[in-house]
Chain A
Amino acid sequence: MTATLRVDDIELTIGERRILRPMSLEFLPGEITALSGPSGSGKTTLLSIAGGLLRPTRGTASYGELPMWQGDGDPRGEVAFVLQVYGLVPILSARENVAIALRARGRSPREANETADAELRRFSIGDLGDRQVEELSGGQMQRVACARGFAVRSDILLADEPTSELDEGNREHVMAQLREEAARGAIVVVATHDPAVVSRANRHFVLDDGELTDSIQPVAHTTTPA
C-alpha cells in the first residue's frame, strides 16, 4: 500500500454556491490526516469527493492512477467509510451490518459473521450483535459504524466525526483503532471537530467556508507502514 490518495485542483459548485474552493491535497498511507473546521466548512464534502461519492465540478480525486469517481456515486472497493450519520442499514442487526460489508468484498457468510463478531467485540459491543440497529443508542450505532468501517481492512478509511457520540473512554479506543489502521499502511482521513483527534493526526488540514485555510504537518505521530 504505497499509493497515495490525491485531490488535484478540485472545486465544487452547486448552483451559485461554491461549496469547495480550488484545492489540492495528498493523503499518504500509514498516516492519519485530520480535517477540521467549523460546521459547513466543507469537511464532509471533501471526504465525499476524496472517497468517490461526489464528483467535483473541477479537478479530480484519484488513488494510485485511478480516479475515485466511478460515474455512479458508489465508492471504490479500496475505500471504507465511517459516516457521521452512521449509514447503517436499519433492517439489519449490528452483526449483519458489519458482515454485509465483508460479504460485499467476497467473504463467505460464515467467515463474515465471525469477523463481524470479532469487530463488534473490538469496539466493546460484542453483546449487541443480534440487536437491530434501530434499537441501539447513538453511541452504540456509531461504534457499529466504526466496526463496519474498520472490519474490511481497506486501503483507504474515511471517517467523518467518528467520535462525536462517544464518551472519552470509547473515543480513546476509537483513536487507537484508527492508529492501528494507519499502522497497517491504510490511508486514514478523519473529519473532526475534536481537538483530541486532531492532536493525534499526522497531518491536519483546516477548512473554512470551503477553502483550505491552514495546513499543519506535524511528524510526531508518523507511523511506518506495515
Chain B
Amino acid sequence: MILRGIMARRLVSLTILLLSMLAVAGTVVVVGFARVADVSRGSAGVLVLLGLVAIAVQSTESVRRREPEVALARLRGRRALSLLTFVVAEPVVVVVAGATVGLAVGWLLGRVAVSRWLENGATFRVDESVLVAAGAVTLACVLLVLVTCWSVVRAPLHRQLAAARRPRSASAATLFLQLALVLGAAVAGYQAHQAARSRVDWLTLLSPAVLGLAVGQVVVWLMLAVLVLLVPHLPSAGFGWFITGRRLLRRADSLALVRTVVAAGVVAAVAASAFTVAQGWREERARLQVGAPVSYPVPDGALRAYAAAETADPQGRWLLPAATLVGSSEGASRRMFVDTRRWGSVVGDFFADTPSAGLTTAFHQLSPERSVAYTRATEMTVVLDAAAIGAHRRLDLAVQYVNDSGDLHIIRLRLTGAGGVPVAGGQARFHRSVTDCSTACSVAQVDLEGSSPRHPVLLSDLTFGRQRLLAPSAGLDLLPGGLSNLQAYRVGTGVLIRRIGDRTGWLNILGTFDDPAAQPVVTTRGFVLSRDDGHPVVAGIDGGPRPVSVVARVGALPFVGTRGSALDLGSALAGSGGSVLEVRAAVLARADTPPTVLAALEATKAVRPPTTYAAMLGQLERTPRAEGTRLYLLLAGLAGLIALVSVTASAAQQVRERRLEAASLRTVGINAAVVLAAYRREALLLAAATFAGTAVGAWISCLVLLRALPLVSGWAFAPPPDVDPNPLIIGPTALAAAAAVAVVAYVALRGVGRSSPPRLLREDPS
C-alpha cells in the first residue's frame, strides 16, 4: 500500500528521498571528516538546514496532493493518531530510505575525500559519532514530515474535499516564521561578526544558510511588492507580460523556489569563498616565507650569499641574495635584507596581489649607489708613509674582516722602528697572510695606534688580496686614536674606505663621499622603529644599530611577515662586523633560472639544496586546518545539489498544471508561442531574481561571516586572510544559481506550449 502510494507520487517521493539523502550524506562526510581533519562538525549544519527547508516544501506538496485521499480516510472514520499514521507512513518510509542511501553515499564520499585530500594516512570511518549525527538528521527529517503532515491533515474537511485546489493565503504562523527567519538572520550575522575566529559556535556555522534563506525571503517579498504595483498595468503590455505577471503573483511555488535556490547559492558561495580565502592565504604565506620561487639556503652567512649570487649571476638577472633575522618574536628586531638592485628582475611580480605587491617600487628607493666590497685573499699588504717616526715609536695596526664563514676575524700588525718603520721619512711595506678568505670576505675595520699630529703616518695603500682598498692616488691619514668603524665601499671599479659616525672633519680622508645621514628602510605598516638619541634605528646585520629613515611602508615583507623592516643587503654588509648567529641567509632564484646559472651557484659551494615555493605550499596544504578547509568545497557542491534537486522537482511538478493552463489559453485563441514565451519570460525573471538575491546574499554573508570562520592558523606574523567578498566567486555562483533556474525551467517547460493542445481539457479536468 505504502509502496503503491510512493510510486503514484514518485516525483515528489523521489525528491524527498534525494533531499534526505543529501542531508544525511553531507552530515556523514562532515562529521567523519572532522574526526581526522581540523574542521568543525557544525559545518554540516548548513546542509541540514537547507535540506530540512527543502524537505518541508516537498513534504507539504506531497501531503497536499493526498488531500482527497486524506478526506476519504476521515470520512471512513480515521481520526487523530490513526489518520496521522496513515498520512506520514509514506513520506517517513521515503525519508528513512533516503537517509539509508545517504549513509552509504556519505561513507563513499568521505572515503574518497579523505583519501584524496588528507595525506596523513588518516582513514574515514563511520564510527559512533557519525551514526549518531546521521540518526539525528534522519530524526529531524522525520519530525519535520510529521509537522508538515499534521498541518495539512488538520485542515477543514470541506477544503480537502474540494474538487479544485484552491489558493491559500499564508497563515499567521507562516508569516511569523518568515519574519523570525529574517530577524534570526540578523542576529546570526551579528553574532558571527562579533565571534572570535578561534571560537566558533553553531549559530555562526549555521549563519550562511540562515542568511541565505532570509535574503531569499526578502527577494520573494520584493518581487511580490513589485508585482502588486505592476500587475494592474500589465494588460496593456501584451499577453506575454500579462500571463507572466499573473502567474508570478498568484503561484507561490514559483517564488518559493527562488528562496531555496538563493539560500543554497549563498551557502555555496560562502563555502567556496571560505575555501578560496584559506587557499589564497596559504599561497600568500608560502610566498612570504620562501621569498621567491626557489630559495637556496646559505649556511655561511649573508656575505657568502651575496658573493655567491654575484659570482653565479654577475648580471643580476636570476639570483638574489637575501638574509633575514626572524628568530625573535619581538617586532623591533625582525628584519630582512635583500640586494634591492636585483629585486625587480629576479622576484618581479611574484608578490603580485599580495600585501607585498608594492615591494618592487618600495625597494627601488633602497637601491644604493654603493655596496659592500668583498674579495678573496691569502695575503694583506700595508704601505705606510711616515714623515718622521722615532726609532722607539710603536705603531699597532689592526685590520678586521669578515671571513668566509661570516665571522669577524682580526689581523694585528705591530710595527716598530726596529721593525722597519722609516725613521725619517720614506715608505714601509708590510705583508701578512690572510686566512679563511678563499671565497668572500670583507674588510670591516682598520685601527691604527701610534700616529700623532707631530708624527703623522699616511696609510698610502692597503691591499687585501687583489683588492686595493684605497684608490691608487688616494691615501688615508692615520691620526692618533686610530680609525675605527671603517666601511669599505665599492665605487665604480674602485674601493673606498669610509669612517662611520665621525663628522668632525679634521681627519683627512681622501676620496671621501657624501654619506646620507641615514640608511633608507622599508617597514611594514604600523611597525614602530627603535630610537637611539631620538633617531630611528634598525639593528644591522651584525646587530649594531644603524640610523635609518623610512621611505615606504607595505602590508607585509618577505620572511618577516606583517612586522619588521627591510634594508638593502649590500649596504648593510658594508662595514658590518659579520652576521649575528641567528641570521638566515639564502640565495633566491627565479623559477626559470637557466641550469648553467644554477650550476654556477652550486659550484660556489655556498648553498644547500633548495626550498621551493611549491614545496612550501605543499607543506602548508598538509596542515590539518588546511585539509579541513577543503571540506568547504564539498559543502558548496552538496548545497548546489540540494538547490538543483529542489529546482528540478519544482519545475517538473509544475509541468502538468502548466500544460492544462496552456491548453486553456489556447482554447480561447492565444497562440502556443505566446504562452511559451510567457513561461520563458517567467523563467528568466525568476533567474534574474535568483541572480540578484544570490549575489547580494552572498556578498552580505561573506562580509559578515568569513571573518568569523576558523580558516587559517599557524603564523603569528602572517597577513590576515583577505576575507573581502570575492566577485570572482560570488558572480559565477550567482550566475550558476540563476542558470540552474533558467535552464531547468526552460527544459521542463520547453514543450509545454506545443504539447498542450486544447484537447487536453477533454481528458483532464482543471
Residues in chain A within 8 A of chain B (CB atoms): 44-45, 48, 53-54, 72-75, 77, 81, 83-92, 96, 99-101, 103-105, 109, 113, 132, 134-135, 138, 141, 148, 152
Whether A72 and B757, one on each chain, are in contact in the complex, defined by CB atoms closer than 8 angstroms, is yes
Listed residue (A45, A74, A81) with the most chain B CB atoms within 10 angstroms of its CB: A74
Whether B667 and A87, one on each chain, are in contact in the complex, defined by CB atoms closer than 8 angstroms, is yes
Contact of A54 among B246, B250, B759, B765 (CB under 8 A): B759
A50 CB → nearest B CB, Å: 12
B285 at the interface (CB under 8 A from A): no
Residues in chain B within 8 A of chain A (CB atoms): 163-167, 235-236, 239, 242-243, 246-247, 250-251, 657, 661, 663-672, 754, 757-759, 761-762, 764-766
On whether A105 and B669 interact (CB within 8 A), knowing A91-B661, A132-B250, A138-B163, the answer reads yes
The CA of A96 and the CA of B764, in the complex, are separated in Å by: 22
B244 CB → nearest A CB, Å: 10
Whether A83 and B667, one on each chain, are in contact in the complex, defined by CB atoms closer than 8 angstroms, is yes
On whether A74 and B166 interact (CB within 8 A), knowing A53-B759, A87-B758, A88-B664, the answer reads no
- With A85-B765, A103-B235 known, 20 other A-B pairs at CB within 8 A are A44-B762, A45-B762, A48-B762, A53-B758, A72-B672, A73-B666, A73-B759, A75-B669, A75-B758, A84-B762, A87-B664, A87-B761, A89-B661, A90-B664, A96-B246, A100-B242, A104-B239, A134-B165, A134-B166, A148-B668
Q: Which residues of B contact A89 (CB under 8 A)?
A: 661, 664-665
Q: Which residues of B contact A45 (CB under 8 A)?
A: 762
Among residues of B, the one whose C-beta sits closest to the C-beta of A160 is B762
Among residues of A, the one whose C-beta sits closest to the C-beta of B237 is A109
Q: Which residues of A contact B671 (CB under 8 A)?
A: 74
Contact of A101 among B167, B242, B668 (CB under 8 A): B668
Among residues of A, the one whose C-beta sits closest to the C-beta of B755 is A73
Q: Which residues of A contact B247 (CB under 8 A)?
A: 91
Among residues of B, the one whose C-beta sits closest to the C-beta of A141 is B164
Q: Which residues of A contact B657 (CB under 8 A)?
A: 90
The CA of A74 and the CA of B235, in the complex, are separated in Å by: 23
Q: Which residues of B contact A54 (CB under 8 A)?
A: 759
Q: List 22 A-B contacts (CB under 8 A).
A: A48-B762, A53-B762, A73-B758, A75-B669, A75-B758, A83-B761, A84-B762, A86-B766, A90-B164, A90-B657, A91-B250, A92-B246, A99-B235, A100-B668, A100-B670, A104-B239, A104-B670, A105-B669, A109-B235, A134-B166, A141-B164, A152-B668
On whether A90 and B661 interact (CB within 8 A), knowing A104-B669, A135-B167, the answer reads yes
Whether A109 and B761, one on each chain, are in contact in the complex, defined by CB atoms closer than 8 angstroms, is no
On whether A104 and B236 interact (CB within 8 A), knowing A54-B759, A85-B761, A91-B251, the answer reads no
Whether B164 and A134, one on each chain, are in contact in the complex, defined by CB atoms closer than 8 angstroms, is yes
Whether B758 and A74, one on each chain, are in contact in the complex, defined by CB atoms closer than 8 angstroms, is yes
The CA of A132 and the CA of B231, in the complex, are separated in Å by: 14
Q: Which residues of A contact B757 (CB under 8 A)?
A: 53, 72-74
Q: Which residues of B contact A96 (CB under 8 A)?
A: 246
Among residues of B, the one whose C-beta sits closest to the C-beta of A89 is B664
Q: Which residues of A contact B765 (CB under 8 A)?
A: 85
A141 CB → nearest B CB, Å: 8
Q: Which residues of A contact B166 (CB under 8 A)?
A: 134-135
Q: Which residues of A contact B666 (CB under 8 A)?
A: 73-74
The CA of A112 and the CA of B759, in the complex, are separated in Å by: 25
Whether B236 and A109, one on each chain, are in contact in the complex, defined by CB atoms closer than 8 angstroms, is yes
A203 CB → nearest B CB, Å: 23
The CA of A100 and the CA of B667, in the complex, are separated in Å by: 11
B239 CB → nearest A CB, Å: 7
Whether B669 and A77, one on each chain, are in contact in the complex, defined by CB atoms closer than 8 angstroms, is yes
Among residues of A, the one whose C-beta sits closest to the C-beta of B245 is A91
B158 CB → nearest A CB, Å: 11
Q: Which residues of B contact A73 (CB under 8 A)?
A: 666, 757-759
The CA of A83 and the CA of B669, in the complex, are separated in Å by: 14
Among residues of A, the one whose C-beta sits closest to the C-beta of B167 is A134
A215 CB → nearest B CB, Å: 24
Q: Which residues of A contact B667 (CB under 8 A)?
A: 75, 81, 83, 87
Q: Which residues of A contact B242 (CB under 8 A)?
A: 100
On whether A91 and B669 interact (CB within 8 A), knowing A85-B764, A109-B235, the answer reads no
Listed residue (B664, B666, B757, B766) with the most chain A CB atoms within 10 angstroms of its CB: B664
Among residues of A, the one whose C-beta sits closest to the C-beta of B249 is A91
B695 CB → nearest A CB, Å: 29
Listed residue (B246, B247, B669) with the most chain A CB atoms within 10 angstroms of its CB: B669
On whether A88 and B759 interact (CB within 8 A), knowing A83-B667, A101-B668, A132-B250, the answer reads no
Q: Which residues of A contact B163 (CB under 8 A)?
A: 138
The CA of A50 and the CA of B203, in the complex, are separated in Å by: 66
The CA of A163 and the CA of B355, in the complex, are separated in Å by: 80
Listed residue (B166, B235, B239, B759) with the most chain A CB atoms within 10 angstroms of its CB: B759
Among residues of B, the one whose C-beta sits closest to the C-beta of A54 is B759
The CA of A85 and the CA of B667, in the complex, are separated in Å by: 12
Q: Which residues of B contact A135 (CB under 8 A)?
A: 166-167
Whether B759 and A48, one on each chain, are in contact in the complex, defined by CB atoms closer than 8 angstroms, is yes
Q: Which residues of B contact A104 (CB under 8 A)?
A: 239, 668-670
Whether B661 and A74, one on each chain, are in contact in the complex, defined by CB atoms closer than 8 angstroms, is no
Whether A74 and B668, one on each chain, are in contact in the complex, defined by CB atoms closer than 8 angstroms, is no
Q: Which residues of B contact A141 (CB under 8 A)?
A: 164
The CA of A215 and the CA of B165, in the complex, are separated in Å by: 41
Whether A91 and B764, one on each chain, are in contact in the complex, defined by CB atoms closer than 8 angstroms, is no
Whether B672 and A74, one on each chain, are in contact in the complex, defined by CB atoms closer than 8 angstroms, is yes
Nearest 3 CB-CB pairings of A with B: A73-B757, A104-B669, A101-B668
A85 CB → nearest B CB, Å: 4
Q: Which residues of A contact B243 (CB under 8 A)?
A: 91
The CA of A86 and the CA of B164, in the complex, are separated in Å by: 12
Q: Which residues of B contact A148 (CB under 8 A)?
A: 668
Q: Which residues of A contact B766 (CB under 8 A)?
A: 85-88, 90
Q: Which residues of B contact A152 (CB under 8 A)?
A: 668
The CA of A96 and the CA of B235, in the complex, are separated in Å by: 9
B669 CB → nearest A CB, Å: 4
B682 CB → nearest A CB, Å: 11
Among residues of A, the one whose C-beta sits closest to the C-beta of B757 is A73
On whether A101 and B669 interact (CB within 8 A), knowing A87-B663, A87-B761, the answer reads yes
B160 CB → nearest A CB, Å: 15
The CA of A138 and the CA of B162, in the complex, are separated in Å by: 10
Among residues of B, the one whose C-beta sits closest to the C-beta of A102 is B668
Q: Which residues of A contact B668 (CB under 8 A)?
A: 100-101, 104, 148, 152
Q: Which residues of B contact A109 (CB under 8 A)?
A: 235-236
Among residues of B, the one whose C-beta sits closest to the C-beta of A100 is B668
The CA of A105 and the CA of B669, in the complex, are separated in Å by: 7
Q: Which residues of B contact A138 (CB under 8 A)?
A: 163
Q: Which residues of A contact B661 (CB under 8 A)?
A: 89-91
Listed residue (A77, A99, A103) with the most chain B CB atoms within 10 angstroms of its CB: A103
Q: Which residues of B contact A86 (CB under 8 A)?
A: 766
A112 CB → nearest B CB, Å: 8
The CA of A45 and the CA of B763, in the complex, are separated in Å by: 10
The CA of A92 and the CA of B665, in the complex, are separated in Å by: 11
A145 CB → nearest B CB, Å: 10
Q: Which residues of B contact A87 (CB under 8 A)?
A: 663-664, 667, 758, 761, 766
Q: Which residues of B contact A132 (CB under 8 A)?
A: 167, 250
Q: Which residues of B contact A105 (CB under 8 A)?
A: 669
The CA of A100 and the CA of B672, in the complex, are separated in Å by: 14
The CA of A134 and the CA of B250, in the complex, are separated in Å by: 11
Listed residue (A45, A75, A77, A148) with the most chain B CB atoms within 10 angstroms of its CB: A75
Q: Which residues of B contact A103 (CB under 8 A)?
A: 235, 239
Among residues of A, the one whose C-beta sits closest to the C-beta of B668 is A101
The CA of A48 and the CA of B247, in the complex, are separated in Å by: 28
The CA of A100 and the CA of B662, in the complex, are separated in Å by: 13
A49 CB → nearest B CB, Å: 10
The CA of A136 and the CA of B599, in the complex, are separated in Å by: 91
